[in-house]
Structure 1
Amino acid sequence: MSVFFTDKKVVDYDTALSSDTEKYAEYFRYMLESGINLAPSQFEAMFVSAAHTQKDSEATAKVIENFK
C-alpha cells in the first residue's frame, strides 16, 4: 500500500506526483513519533505481513484516525 495526500485518484506516476510531499513528511514524523515505522518516502510501498496481528492493525488505525 501507499499513502498519497492529493485530491486526485493516483493511478500512475504523473498523478502520484500531484501528492503533497510536505504533508507526507508531516504524516511520516507523526507516525514515527506514535511508534509506527513507515517507508520514509511516499513512493515506497508498505506491506502488512503475518507478523502483524489484528491488535497491531487496530492500534495503527487509531493512530491514523488521529492524524490532522
Structure 2
Amino acid sequence: MPLSNFKTIGEVLKKFQFTYTEENFISEIPFNISDYFREDLELTIRDSVVDNSEFAICENLIYPILKEV
C-alpha cells in the first residue's frame, strides 16, 4: 500500500506500528557576530533587493552568510 493512500500520520503509525515522538533536538548556542558581517548584511538587505521577489530576497540573505562562513 503506497503511503499516499494514508490521510493522517496516525493511520501510518497504526498500520506500521511506529512510535512517534516530538522533541527539540537543536539547542541554541551563543556566538559573536562580527561588526563587518552585521554591516554587510544590513547593506545587502537595504540596497540589493531590486524586484522584491521571494527568490531575490532569499539569495540576498544567503550570500552574506556564505561569505562569512
TM-score under structure 1 normalisation?
A: 0.35
TM-score under structure 2 normalisation?
A: 0.34
* CA radius of gyration, larger in: 2
* Structure showing greater relative contact order (alpha-carbon pairs closer than 8 Å, 6 or more residues apart): 1
